[in-house]
Structure 1
Amino acid sequence: MSRLVVVSNRVGDVDNSTQTGGLAVAIADALRTYGGLWFGCFESSEKSGCTLQTALGSNGVQYASTPVFSTEYQRYYAGYANSVLWPLFHYRTDLIDYREGDFRAYMSVNRQLANQLYPRLRADDIVWVHDYHLIPFARFLRRAGARNARVGFFLHIPFPPPDLLAASPNHASIVDSLLDYDLIGFQTSTDLSNFQRYLDEYAIAVVSADGTIRSDQRTSRSGRFPISIDVDSFTKMAEAAPEDVRLEGMRRHILKRKQIIGVDRLDYSKGIPARFEAFEKLISGNPSLEKSVSLLQISPPTREGIKPYEEIRKTAEGMASSINGRLADFNWTPIRYIHRTVARDKLAAILRHSDVGLVTPLRDGMNLVAKEYVAAQDSDHPGVLILSQFAGAAEELTEALIVNPHDTDEMARCLLQALTMPLQERRTRHHLLLQRIRSSNVQNWANNFLTVLLTDARSDDVSIPSTEMRQAHQALLPSEFSN
C-alpha cells in the first residue's frame, strides 16, 4: 500500500486537535486518515552538525524535520517567501521587497529539503507538497533521483493574474518549476484560470479542457480543489464550550447584547482596518446599537519583524484604541482586540456564541474561519456569516451575506442586516451553508486531490508549444533552471 508523504514548510502535530492555522489543521486531518510521513524544516542557530529531527505519532504517522541555518532560513522564509511571493500572490505588488540573495536562499532551501527527503522515500510513496514556500521542491526532488515519483502540489493562497505575476523578476522560474508536479491544485476557479492563462500567454505549455498540461518537461494535470474542515469534529468542539465562554455568552444574553466576531492572523491581506471602520459606521449611524453590540477581533501575531506586519499591527491597535476612546462607556467596550493565539477548541466555542461572523479579507485563498463559523453554530439559533467576495470561500458559501471589503458603507449595512435578520431567514441560510460544507469536508478534499494525483494524465489532442516559443521562455529562466 502506498504511503502518503506530506511536505510543508513546518511540521505540525497530528495528535493536537487544538492547533490553529488552516494548512496545519487540514494536513493533520488528512494524515489522521491516511497515515504516513510529515516532512518539513526548522530554523537552526547551528551552521553545521544539527541532525534531522524525527518522531512517531499516533496512527503510525512519522515526523521528520531538517534544520536550516538561521540566516538562510530567514532569507528563504521572511525574505523571498513572505516579502515577495505572499504580497505578490495576494495582489499587493506595492509591498514586494525583492532581493536577489533572498531568491537564491529560497531555491537553496528547497534543494536542501529535496535532497534530505529523497533517501527516505519508498518506491511507491505519494508525495504531496504544500504551499508557496515549496514551489520548486518537485524540480529538485526529481533532480535528486525521484524522476518517476508521484508528486502533487497544492497552493493554499491565491494565484495572481499573469500581468501581476510578471511583477516578480523570477516569475518564469516559479511557474516553470510547477510543471515538474504531476498535479497542481488550486483553491478556486479564478486561481486555476490565472495559472492556465499564464501558461497560455507565455506559451510554455498547452492546457486541455480537462486541465491536462503538456510541455516538453512532462504531462501534468491542474485542477480546483477547495479546502475544507472536519465539520463534525469542529461542531462537537464548539458544543463543548469551556465554562468562561459559556458564562460570557449567558451574560450577553441576559443583557441583550450581541457579539460580532472576526478571527484572522494579523496580516495586511485580512482587511482588519476596514472592518473596524465599518463597525464604527454601524454604531455611529445607528445610535440604538450603542451598548448592545460589540466586535471581538482575535488576531494572533504572525511574521513579526517584517515591516508591513509591524505597520498593520500599529494601525489595528491604533484604530481599536481610537474608536473605543470615542464610543466606549464605563460598562461597554465597542471593540475588544486580542493579539495572541487562542486554542482552537476555545475558539470554536467563541464562534458558536457569536451572533455575526465577520470574514472580510481583501484577498484570501479560501479562509477556513468562514466554514468554521458555520460549523460552530447552533442550528436552532444560528448566527449570520458576512463574507468577502474576495475570499475563496465565497465561491461556495453563496448563502452568506457577500460584501466588498473595500466598501465600508456596504459592510456597515450588512452588519445591520445580520444583527436584525429574522430567525427563520437565519435558519434557512445556515441550513444551506451547513449542507455545502458537509458535502465538501476535509476528507473529501484530500480524497479528491489524491485520486486525481494517482490517475494518469491524459494527453489526447494536446500539443507541445513550438520550439521558438519554448526557447523564448527559456531565456527568462536562471541558469540552474534552463535544463
Structure 2
Amino acid sequence: MSRLIIVSNRLPALGKGVAAGGLAVALEAALKDRGGLWLGWSGRTPDDPQPGVTLQKLGNVTYAAMDLSAEDVAGYYEGISNSVLWPLCHYRSDLLKYTRADMDRYLSVNAKFASALTEMLEPDDVVWVHDYHLIPLAEALRKRGAENRIGYFHHIPWPAQDLFRAMPKSAKLLRSMLAYDVVGLQTAADARNLRASLDAARPDLEAITHPRGTRIGAYPISIDTKGFAHRARRAQELPRIRELHQRFGPRDMVIGVDRLDYSKGLPERLRAIETLLENHPSMHNRVSFLQITPASRSGIEGYDRIQQEVAERAGRLNASYGTLDWVPVRYINRAFSQSLLAGLYRLSKVGLVTPLRDGMNLVAKEYVAAQDPEDPGVLVLSQFAGAAAELDRALIVNPHDVEDVANALARALDMPLDERRERHARMMARLEAHPVSVWSETFLRDLTGDPP
C-alpha cells in the first residue's frame, strides 16, 4: 500500500489528544493505516524562519512542521485565505480585501510547501491536500516534476461562478484545480458550482494538467458517530453536567455552538430568540438559550465587528426579558472540551444551527449523535448548511427569516415525543451509515483507484 501524505495549513496539536468528531480523527486514522506524513505550518513566525521542516515521528506517522514569516502569515493567511477566499466562498464579497502583494505571498507560501514536500516525496506516495489555503499546491508540485496522485478537499462552500469571478485573477486558482486528480467538495451543489466556474473560465485556463484528468465530486464529511454518541452517554455522569442539569431545572435549553464568525448568523439567531419571546409569552421563564462561541480570528475586518454586535444584542435581550431568577441568553466566549459539549448537547431540548452559509457544519451532526434516542431533542437547521442535504428530518429554516426560525423553535419546543423519536431515528441512521471513516475511505479509494 502506498504511503499517504496529508498537507494542511496547520498541523494537529500533538500529544494533546484529538477532538472527537474532528477532521484529525479521520486523517490520523488513515495515516496510521497506511503509514505516512503530515505536513503543515508549525504556527511559529520566527524573525528569520529557516527553510525546510522539523520532523517528529509518532508510530508510523511523521509530522513535518514548517515555519512561516510574519509577512507570509499576513499575506497568505490573513490576506488571501481569510480576507478573500473565506468571505468569497461564504457569499460575502462585500468583505473581500484583495491586493496583488497578498496574492504573490499566497502563491509563494504554496511554493514553499511544495518545495518542502518535494524533498520528502517518493514516487508512489499519495498526496491529500486540505482546504482553501493550499489550492495552488498541486500545480506547484507538478511544476517540480511530481507525477503522484494528488487530491484536494475543499471544506468550505464553493460559490456560484459569477461570484467567484469577483476575485481578481480567479482563473489562476481555477487553473490550479486541474492539477489535481480528485477534487472533493461537501455537497453536490458545491461540485456543480465549481464545474460551472471551470466551464466559464476554460478558454483562459491553460492549465498544467496531468494525463489522468481531474475528477470533481461531492464527499460530505461526517463525524465519528458511534464514538460521539458514546461520549455523550458517558458525559451525563460528569459533575459539571449534573450541576448544569440542576441549575437549568425544568427549563428547556436551546443550544448553539459556533466559532465567532460572520458566516454563522449569530445576530440573526439572537433576533429569532427575541422574536420567539415577543410572540410566545408562554416561553418566558421556560426557555434558556446557551450560545457557546469561542473567539475566532481577531484583527480582521468583519470579525471584531461581529463580536461587538453579538455581545451587545445578547445584553439588550437579557435586559429586556431577564428576571431575578431567569436569564434568557447565556453567551459564552470560550472553548469547551468535546466531552462537556457532548453532555450539553444531550441536555438540550433544541439544537439551533443556523449559519448563513456553511460547507457542512459538524455541530449539527454532533447534536443528533449526542441525543438520547428515547427522549431526543430537535435539530433546527439552516437550509444553507451543507448538513441540510443529509439531515432532512431536522426543521429546516431560512436563517434570514427570523420569524421562520422563531416559529421553528416554538414548534421544536412543543414537539410530541413520537415525532421527535421518528425524526431523530431517521437522521441517526444516516449518520451511522456514513461516519467520518467512510468519508476518508471513499475519497482515498477514488484518488488511488483501489477497488472497494
Q: TM-score range by the shorter chain?
A: over 0.9
Q: Is the 8 A contact 2:175 2:208 kept in 1?
A: no
- Structure 2 residue 44 is matched with structure 1 residue 43: yes
Q: Is the 8 A contact 2:254 2:352 kept in 1?
A: yes
Deviation, structure 1 residue 205: 9.8
Q: Is the 8 A contact 2:179 2:209 kept in 1?
A: no
* Aligned twin of 2:150: 151
Residues in 2 aligned to 1:21 and 1:437: alpha-carbon distance in whole angstroms: 12
- Structure 2 residue 375 is matched with structure 1 residue 376: no
Q: Is the 8 A contact 1:14 1:31 kept in 2?
A: no
* Aligned twin of 1:131: 131
CA deviations on 1:237-291 (whole Å, 9 max, x unpaired) are 1112121112312443xx3111000011000000011000001111121111111
Q: Aligned partner of 2:156: which letter?
A: I
Residues in 2 aligned to 1:160 and 1:240: alpha-carbon distance in whole angstroms: 40
Deviation, structure 1 residue 124: 1.4
Residues in 1 aligned to 2:151 and 2:395: alpha-carbon distance in whole angstroms: 34
Residues in 2 aligned to 1:403 and 1:285: alpha-carbon distance in whole angstroms: 18
2:166 is paired with a residue of what secondary structure? coil
- % identical equivalent positions: 46
CA deviations on 1:269-321 (whole Å, 9 max, x unpaired) are 00011000001111121111111111111111111111210001001111111
Q: Aligned partner of 2:46: which letter?
A: S
Residues in 1 aligned to 2:261 and 2:218: alpha-carbon distance in whole angstroms: 25
* Aligned twin of 1:273: 267
Residues in 2 aligned to 1:10 and 1:223: alpha-carbon distance in whole angstroms: 25
1:240 is paired with a residue of what secondary structure? helix
- Structure 2 residue 138 is matched with structure 1 residue 142: no
Q: Aligned partner of 1:171: which letter?
A: S
Residues in 1 aligned to 2:204 and 2:386: alpha-carbon distance in whole angstroms: 26
CA deviations on 1:358-393 (whole Å, 9 max, x unpaired) are 000000000000000011111111100011000000
* Aligned twin of 1:176: 175
1:435 is paired with a residue of what secondary structure? helix
Residues in 2 aligned to 1:288 and 1:4: alpha-carbon distance in whole angstroms: 56
* Aligned twin of 2:216: 222
1:68 is paired with a residue of what secondary structure? coil
* Aligned twin of 2:445: 451
- Structure 2 residue 383 is matched with structure 1 residue 389: yes
Q: Is the 8 A contact 1:89 1:158 kept in 2?
A: yes
Q: Is the 8 A contact 1:13 1:28 kept in 2?
A: no
Deviation, structure 1 residue 334: 0.7
1:391-430 superposed matches below 5 A? 391-430=385-424
Residues in 2 aligned to 1:28 and 1:312: alpha-carbon distance in whole angstroms: 34
CA deviations on 1:62-112 (whole Å, 9 max, x unpaired) are 211111111222211011100000000111110101111111110000000
1:202 is paired with a residue of what secondary structure? helix
Give ranges in structure 1 of 5+ residues lacking alignment: 207-213, 457-483
Q: Is the 8 A contact 2:95 2:301 kept in 1?
A: no
Moved more, 286-295 or 20-29: 20-29
Aligned residues between the structures: 445
1:295 is paired with a residue of what secondary structure? strand
Q: Is the 8 A contact 2:139 2:208 kept in 1?
A: no
State the TM-score, normalized to the length of structure 2: 0.94
Residues in 1 aligned to 2:111 and 2:102: alpha-carbon distance in whole angstroms: 14
Moved more, 214-223 or 167-176: 214-223
* Aligned twin of 1:79: 79
2:80 is paired with a residue of what secondary structure? helix
The verdict on how the C-alpha distance between 1:299 and 1:40 changes in structure 2, with shifts beyond 3 A counting, is same
Residues in 2 aligned to 1:43 and 1:76: alpha-carbon distance in whole angstroms: 14
Residues in 1 aligned to 2:17 and 2:229: alpha-carbon distance in whole angstroms: 13
The verdict on how the C-alpha distance between 1:190 and 1:319 changes in structure 2, with shifts beyond 3 A counting, is same
Q: Is the 8 A contact 1:165 1:171 kept in 2?
A: yes
Q: Is the 8 A contact 2:21 2:225 kept in 1?
A: no
Residues in 2 aligned to 1:248 and 1:262: alpha-carbon distance in whole angstroms: 16
Moved more, 444-453 or 343-352: 343-352
Deviation, structure 1 residue 56: 2.3
The verdict on how the C-alpha distance between 1:452 and 1:405 changes in structure 2, with shifts beyond 3 A counting, is same
Give ranges in structure 2 of 5+ residues lacking alignment: none
The verdict on how the C-alpha distance between 1:14 and 1:46 changes in structure 2, with shifts beyond 3 A counting, is closer
Q: Is the 8 A contact 2:38 2:63 kept in 1?
A: yes
CA deviations on 1:183-224 (whole Å, 9 max, x unpaired) are 001100110000111122223599xxxxxxx99654111111
1:43 is paired with a residue of what secondary structure? coil
The verdict on how the C-alpha distance between 1:25 and 1:295 changes in structure 2, with shifts beyond 3 A counting, is farther
- Structure 2 residue 206 is matched with structure 1 residue 194: no
Residues in 1 aligned to 2:321 and 2:377: alpha-carbon distance in whole angstroms: 25
Q: Is the 8 A contact 1:76 1:105 kept in 2?
A: yes
Deviation, structure 1 residue 117: 1.0
Residues in 1 aligned to 2:110 and 2:426: alpha-carbon distance in whole angstroms: 42
Compute the RMSD of aligned alpha carbons.
2.0
1:310-329 superposed matches below 5 A? 310-329=304-323
The verdict on how the C-alpha distance between 1:15 and 1:345 changes in structure 2, with shifts beyond 3 A counting, is farther
Q: Is the 8 A contact 2:229 2:370 kept in 1?
A: yes
1:96-111 superposed matches below 5 A? 96-111=96-111
1:357 is paired with a residue of what secondary structure? strand
CA deviations on 1:429-455 (whole Å, 9 max, x unpaired) are 000000011111111000110111112
1:231-246 superposed matches below 5 A? 231-241=225-235, 242-246=238-242
- Structure 2 residue 262 is matched with structure 1 residue 262: no
- Structure 2 residue 357 is matched with structure 1 residue 363: yes
1:381 is paired with a residue of what secondary structure? coil
- Structure 2 residue 332 is matched with structure 1 residue 338: yes
1:398 is paired with a residue of what secondary structure? coil
Q: Is the 8 A contact 2:176 2:208 kept in 1?
A: no
- Structure 2 residue 292 is matched with structure 1 residue 298: yes
State the TM-score, normalized to the length of structure 1: 0.88
* Aligned twin of 1:248: 244
Q: Is the 8 A contact 2:233 2:370 kept in 1?
A: yes
Aligned with residue 434 of structure 1, among 419, 428, 431: 428
Residues in 2 aligned to 1:383 and 1:16: alpha-carbon distance in whole angstroms: 31
Deviation, structure 1 residue 49: 3.6
Residues in 2 aligned to 1:31 and 1:346: alpha-carbon distance in whole angstroms: 28
The verdict on how the C-alpha distance between 1:39 and 1:279 changes in structure 2, with shifts beyond 3 A counting, is same
Residues in 1 aligned to 2:401 and 2:23: alpha-carbon distance in whole angstroms: 29
Residues in 1 aligned to 2:234 and 2:14: alpha-carbon distance in whole angstroms: 21
Q: Aligned partner of 2:177: which letter?
A: L
Deviation, structure 1 residue 160: 0.7
Residues in 2 aligned to 1:282 and 1:121: alpha-carbon distance in whole angstroms: 57
The verdict on how the C-alpha distance between 1:154 and 1:359 changes in structure 2, with shifts beyond 3 A counting, is same
